[in-house]
Amino acid sequence: MKTEVVDLSQILNKDTPAYPGDTCFSSCPHLTFSEHGVRVQKISIGTHTGTHIDVPSHFIDEGKTVEQVSLSWLVGPAVVIDLTQTGRDKDLQKRETIGLDDLKPYESRIKRYIDSGETPIVLLRTGWSKYWATEDYIPHPFVAPHAAQWLVDVGVRVLGIDTFSPDETVVDSSDFVTAVHKIVLGAGAVIVENLTNLAAIQEGEWVVSVVPLKLEGADGSPIRACAWRKE
């Protein structure tokens, strides 16, 4: 039977938004059919462009780099925490805080996987991916530090979200908001950002892959996140 695979990644093109101050994506011909008889593109991309993974060395001086993170963490059962109107009383609003009360209802499911020896990939479905490549993508909801601390205390090692960041994104300030990154990455866990299509894996049992490129010494990497039904 053919496996259904769901794409959870944003496309990389000239319109791909970059986190304020980060590298934008670009692509241009390197070799062409007309001149060389073959096509090769040259791309420029930051480690945190598009759908990507943050590893501990992003914020932790002696933290693990991309190639040091165990692949066994990066393929695992999905726990999609629905923060849209279908999962709570109302949709999240601009710059609304995601608190512990939003996460607690999923505690038993997270712990069930951990107790069975699996590494669940916890995905926060805010619904904000619908604003991708628009100005409204910037004032996204974000995770409260105490809620992030609870996740790592429970044993979560992979936290994903369909926004620029689990922290607040602030444009008109020289200071980045980094509390959640420091909590999660400081615990040795990883963060996946700019996911999309999480509604497609809300129901049922799914396995998610968030495997990065094997970039030596890197603090993050673009990924092609995807999911398939768990047997």
DSSP three-state, residue 14: coil
Residues 88, 102: contact at Cβ < 8 Å?
Answer: yes
Beta strand extents in 165-225 (DSSP E only): 190-193, 206-209, 220-222
Cβ partners under 8 Å of residue 215, min gap 6: 47, 65, 66, 67, 221
Length of the chain: 231
In whole angstroms, how far apart are CA 203 and each of 86, 120, 227?
12, 15, 12
Number of other residues whose CB lies within 10 A of the CB of residue 115: 9
| 48, 54 Cβ separation under 8 angstroms | yes
Q: Rg of the chain's alpha carbons, rounded to an integer?
A: 18
Rounded Cα distance between 29 and 7, Å, is 26
Which residue in the list 52, 58, 140, 181 is annotated as catalytic? 58
Which residues lie closer than 8 Å to 60 by C-beta, 6 or more apart? 182, 185, 186
Please indicate whether residue 52 is annotated as part of the active site: no
Q: Looking at the annotation, which residues are catalytic?
A: 58
